[in-house]
Amino acid sequence: MAASSTGWHDAGQASLDTRFFVDDGLWRDAPMLTGKGSFEPRADVKNILVTGGEGFIASWLVRHLVTKYSEAYNVVSFDKLDYCSSLNNARMLESRPNFNFFHGDLTNPDDVLECLRRYKIDTVFHLAAHTHVDLSFGNSYNFTKTNVVGTHVLLESAIAVGTIKRFYHISTDEVYGEVEKDAADLTEHSSLWPTNPYAASKAAAEMMVMAYARSFKLPAVVVRLNNVYGPHQYPEKIIPKFINLLQRKRPLWIHGDGQHTRRYLYAGDAADAFDTVLHKGVIGQIYNVDSRDEISNLDLARQLLDVFGIANAEGWTEHTKDRPFNDRRYAVDGSKLRKLGWKQSVSFESGLAATVDWYGRFGEWWGEIDAILSPFPVVERDQVVSTPLKAGCAPVPALTEEETGVGAKEEHAHAMVNGHNERNGVAAKKRKAGDMA
Ligand SMILES: NC(=O)c1ccc[n+]([C@@H]2O[C@H](COP(=O)([O-])OP(=O)(O)OC[C@H]3O[C@@H](n4cnc5c(N)ncnc54)[C@H](O)[C@@H]3O)[C@@H](O)[C@H]2O)c1
């Protein structure tokens, strides 16, 4: 272990894997994908750090800020280059004077402090994280390490340099946990009730941010988004995974009964939401970013089969064992952000079509990805290493209700959600809507 104040950092943590630095030129033909809007630049913002900038959502934000605010803001993409990242995501910016890439590990205070000081950072968008729920069941220490300890390091470093005027912490609807069908959408003051290690680590990270806002007056904002999809997403998440499977004429794996629903937001809309929060949001607040497009995994599979012109779905879906716990749905209310002027502008239909088209043209973006196209992939030493078909993970063509435990699970989920809503009612009385302090 290298000397470090956290004790969590291994020497050489930031990947030196040469595959990340191979430039096959593919990005040259790629469109510059960003959000749509822009604002009058803020006078008090000059040098912006985006952590996880070579990953999916953060790269949309990086491209957006660099191109829409080329005269006003300098942007630094800070990334460890984990298995899911690609330098291709920002290579089209390399010739721009207001863009820089810093290869560093969030859990290493030396890296973070050096970056903050070198670029005189005044504004932070924190998105770097371990993000794949499936992996968090088998590899959960990594999630705590990056998402909680990494956030802690960033917060400590922000306080140490003393130059940070705005700290935007990007979180997820998963921190609220499961929401019962037909229950009211959760607002920013609903209580947090995460159900998987990923969601728990994100909730824990939020607690650290709130503590630093309170104790050290860190000017922080928390943003919680629904599921995001679109071009540049590593094909471990359901939409790009399904697209890549269909491109290879392989069936789609559905966890459990496939009735779990998610709300999906196009990545360009997410970039616009961050832009809105940066220019119109209020320090000390929490903002949900919601989508109106809710769809079950099974219906998503059907919709994609349709996009691929496969009329008869038979044989194209295979049900697998479910996750250890799989939230039936998430539902957040984003009206607070909409009052600032943001709105979802890309319909699911057109966003999906654009995404399918992009993967058709840029399927080689991450190099070899076959290992990730399995029902429950495994990551070891920052690499996707296998497509395990061991007990509990094997594709099962048709599961009975008894096998999936759907009936029992629904009962259990119902009980938990009822408890959740009661708790939310109590929390709501004690706090002003979405106020961190
Ligand atoms: N994808 C979604 O649907 C979604 C929804 C809501 C919120 N979020 C949040 O948005 C953020 C981005 O999500 P995403 O899906 O784009 O992520 P991603 O997995 O595509 O990218 C994460 C990035 O973080 C980097 N990273 C990981 N560990 C690091 C470390 N120790 N040091 C430096 N960099 C590191 C990775 O290399 C990668 O580039 C996350 O905080 C996630 O929790 C995502």
pLDDT per residue over 224-236, tens digit each? 999 999 999 999 9
Backbone angles phi, psi at 74, to 5 degrees: -95, 140
User: Would 212 be classed as within a structural domain?
Assistant: yes
Whether residue 433 has pLDDT greater than 70: no
In a domain, 101, yes or no: yes
Atom of ligand 1 nearest to the CA of 174: 6
Q: How confident is the model at residue 388 (pLDDT cuts 50, 70, 90)?
A: very low
**What number is the average pLDDT over the span 167-181?**
96
Please give the residue range of the domain that contains residue 192. 18-430
Q: Pick the more confident residue, 142 or 393.
A: 142
CATH number, domain of 178, equals 3.40.50.720
Residue 134 pLDDT exceeds 80: no
Give the HSE-up count for residue 169: Cα atoms under 13 Å, Cβ half-sphere. Answer: 31
What is the 8-class DSSP label of residue 256? T
Which pLDDT score is estimated for 16?
60
Atom of ligand 1 nearest to the CA of 59: 16
pLDDT-based confidence at 8, cuts 50/70/90?
very low
- C-alpha–C-alpha distance, residues 283 and 350, integer Å: 34
Span 73-80, mean pLDDT? 98
Q: Is residue 183 part of a domain?
A: yes
Whether the pLDDT of residue 220 is over 90: the answer is: yes
Per-residue pLDDT reduced to its tens digit, 397-422: 333 344 333 333 333 322 222 233 33
In the chain, the number of structural domains is 1
Highest mean pLDDT (candidates 32-36, 83-87, 377-381): 32-36
> What confidence score (pLDDT) does residue 389 get?
40
Average pLDDT over residues 119-141: 89
pLDDT given at position 407 = 34
- Interhelix angle for 348-362 vs 238-247, to 10°? 50
**φ and ψ at 431, to 5 degrees?**
-120, 155
Q: Which two tokens stand for residue 75?
A: 């942007």
- The yes-or-no verdict on residue 104 having pLDDT over 90 is yes
**Given its phi and psi angles, is residue 230 left (phi above 0), alpha (psi -120 to 50 degrees) or beta?**
left
Is a pLDDT exceeding 50 seen at residue 347? yes
pLDDT at 295: 96
What's the CA gap between 123 and 104, in Å, rounded? 18
pLDDT digits (tens, 9 = 90+) for 26-52: 999 999 999 999 999 999 999 999 999
Question: Which of these ranges, 267-271, 300-304, 420-424, has the smallest mean pLDDT?
Answer: 420-424
More confident residue, 17 or 161: 161
Residue percentage of the chain with pLDDT more than 90:
69
Q: Is the residue at 4 inside a domain?
A: no
Task: Identify the CA nearest to 239 among candidates 1, 350, 231, 287.
Answer: 231
Positive or negative: CA dihedral 167, 171, 177, 181: positive
What is the pLDDT at residue 3? 33
Is residue 91 assigned to a domain?
Answer: yes
Would you say the CB of residue 235 lies under 6 angstroms from ligand 1? Answer: no
Which pLDDT value is given to residue 355? 98
Determine the pLDDT at residue 321.
Answer: 78
361 pLDDT more than 90: yes
Domain assignment present for residue 104? The answer is yes
Is the CB of residue 176 below 6 angstroms from any atom belonging to ligand 1? Answer: no
With 50 as the cut, is the pLDDT of residue 6 above it? no
**Percent of the chain that is helix, strand, coil (3-state, to 5):** 40, 15, 45
Q: How far apart are CA 324 and CA 107, in angstroms?
A: 28
Instruction: Give the pLDDT score at 153.
Output: 98
- Indicate which residues carry an active-site annotation: 173-174, 198
Sequence-ordered strand ranges (E) for 293-424: 294-296, 317-320, 378-380, 383-386
Task: Give the pLDDT score at 385.
Answer: 65
Nearest-angstrom CA–CA distance, 115 and 95: 20
**Rounded Cα distance, 179 and 389, in Å:** 31
In a domain, 10, yes or no: no
In a domain, 437, yes or no: no
Among the atoms of ligand 1, which is closest to the Cα of residue 81?
37
C-beta 238 within 6 A of ligand 1:
no
Largest CA distance in the chain: 61
Identify which of 6, 19, 56 to mutate to test ligand 1's pocket (most ligand atoms within 8 A of the CB): 56
Give yes or no for residue 106 CB within 6 A of ligand 1.
yes
Higher-confidence position of 345 and 377:
345
Query: Sorting pLDDT into bands at 50, 70 and 90, what band is 386?
Result: low
Q: What does pLDDT average to over the chain?
A: 85
- Find the mean pLDDT for residues 60-66: 98
